[in-house]
Amino acid sequence: MIEARGLTKRYGDKLAVDGLTFTVNPGLVTGFLGPNGAGKSTTMRMILGLDSPTSGSVLVNGRPYRSHSAPLREVGALLEARSIHPGRSAYNHLLALARTSGIHRSRVDEVIDAVGLTGAARRRAGKFSLGMGQRLGIATALLGDPRTVILDEPLNGLDTEGIRWVRALLRSLAAEGRTVFVSSHLMNEMALAAQHLIVVGAGRLIADTSVTEFVRLYGRSVVRVRTTEPARLTARLDSPDVEVTADGAGALTVAGLTTDQIGAAAGTAGITLLELTAQPASLEEAFIDLTHDAVEHHPTITAGASS
């Protein structure tokens, strides 16, 4: 569990993190979402005791991180991919880390196998691709079988298969009862990977809510319709909760109704439909609007904190 209370970090006259209060609970994947420069990495460094807060505090599993005597058992972290000397092999990097806590050599082999770096582990890490660097970072985070996992942008540089792999990993770590805290600047990725969201913009908390709630609030999906009679269908669908816009080329975009409802309505009226397509909700846009607004007006949404 991670508990931040009024966490603030000031660099000169710039507030990088501005009074963040949140709790990250075990058993869930919690996404830490915000545009680049929103203070995510600074917050993660404060959680790990690398940066000291200007004010406020943060506890990991009940204590400040720097006072844990078996830190790798408490927290596994991936901060930046390729935080490794390019001349050293992945194996020796992990072995040096394992030695600080008396972790056995065989565990190093286990985590290397688990992330699929077996063939590359003895080579100089300087030759690693970004994706391999991320895998090594994840191996680093899993080394001590930690109760809490903190990953800063673990999806960066991964291909589609890699992204699905990390998503499955995050879910399984959370299912084992661990606290999983993952940052990203990509809304759609987080909506798929996380169950809970903490959204920040310009160092401030914007939302602390479940993904389901977030999608219900912001993920308004639309339906694209093409018909021989756009004007009659528009009139037919008209209602206060429904918004119909025509794109001029004969297609309509309908918000507020499902494809089933539109199809049934057209059938009842005897209107011929040429196309009826559900368009995925653009959470990304909602997220950008939200963080942009928050920077200017700073409201905070807290809803349905599930745990």
Partner 1 sequence: MTVVRLPAYAAEQHVSQVRVIRSEWTKLRSLPSTIWCLPATVVLVVGVGAGYATLRVARPPTDLSAFDATAISLAGVQLAQFAVGVLGALFVSGEYATGSIRVSLTAVPARLPLLWGKAIALGVATLLSAVPAVLVAFLVGQRILAGRHLNVGLDAPGVARAVLGGALFLTAVGLLGLGLGALLRNTAAGVSALFGLLLGPQLVLGLMPESVSDAAYRYLPAPAGAAVSAVHQDALSLSPWSGLGLLCLYTAVVLGLAGWMLHRRDV
Task: Out of 115, 158, 187, 283, point to the residue binding partner 1 (CB under 8 A).
Answer: 115
Shorter beta-carbon distance to partner 1: residue 15 or 286: 15
In whole angstroms, what is the distance from residue 47 CA to residue 118 CA? Answer: 31
Q: Report residue 16: phi and psi, to 5°.
A: -80, -40
- In sequence order, the β-bridge partners of residue 302 are 208
If we measure between CA atoms, which residue out of 302, 56, 203 comes closest to residue 64? 56
Task: Out of 4, 17, 20, 48, point to the residue binding partner 1 (CB under 8 A).
Answer: 48
**Per-residue mark of binding to partner 1, 132-161 (x: CB under 8 A):** --------x-x-xx---------------x
Shorter beta-carbon distance to partner 1: residue 128 or 218: 128
Taking CB under 8 A as the binding criterion, the range among 32-40, 44-52, 244-252, 274-282 that sits at the site for partner 1 is 44-52
Residues 6+ apart with CB under 8 A from 288: 35, 187
Give the SS3 label for residue 290. helix
Q: How many chain residues are in contact with partner 1, going by CB under 8 A? A: 55
Tokens 């985070």 found at: 141
Shorter beta-carbon distance to partner 1: residue 110 or 243: 110
> Per CB under 8 A, which of residues 54..113 are in contact with partner 1?
65-73, 75, 77, 79-80, 82-89, 92-93, 95-104, 107, 110-111
Task: Out of 57, 164, 175, 216, point to the residue binding partner 1 (CB under 8 A).
Answer: 164
Shorter beta-carbon distance to partner 1: residue 79 or 288: 79
Task: Out of 5, 165, 213, 276, point to the residue binding partner 1 (CB under 8 A).
Answer: 165
Shorter beta-carbon distance to partner 1: residue 142 or 262: 142
**Per-residue mark of binding to partner 1, 168-207 (x: CB under 8 A):** xx--x-----------------------------------
Residues 6+ apart with CB under 8 A from 255: 220, 221, 222, 223, 242, 243, 244
CB of 128 vs partner 1, minimal distance in Å: 12
Q: 285-290 long-range contacts, Cβ below 8 Å, gap at least 24? A: 286/187, 286/218, 286/219, 286/220, 287/33, 287/187, 287/199, 287/218, 288/35, 288/187, 290/199, 290/201, 290/206, 290/207, 290/218
If we measure between CA atoms, which residue out of 21, 23, 138 comes closest to residue 76? 138
Q: Report residue 116: phi and psi, to 5°.
A: 75, 35
**Residues engaged in binding partner 1 (CB under 8 A):** 45, 48-52, 65-73, 75, 77, 79-80, 82-89, 92-93, 95-104, 107, 110-111, 114-116, 140, 142, 144-145, 161, 164-165, 168-169, 172
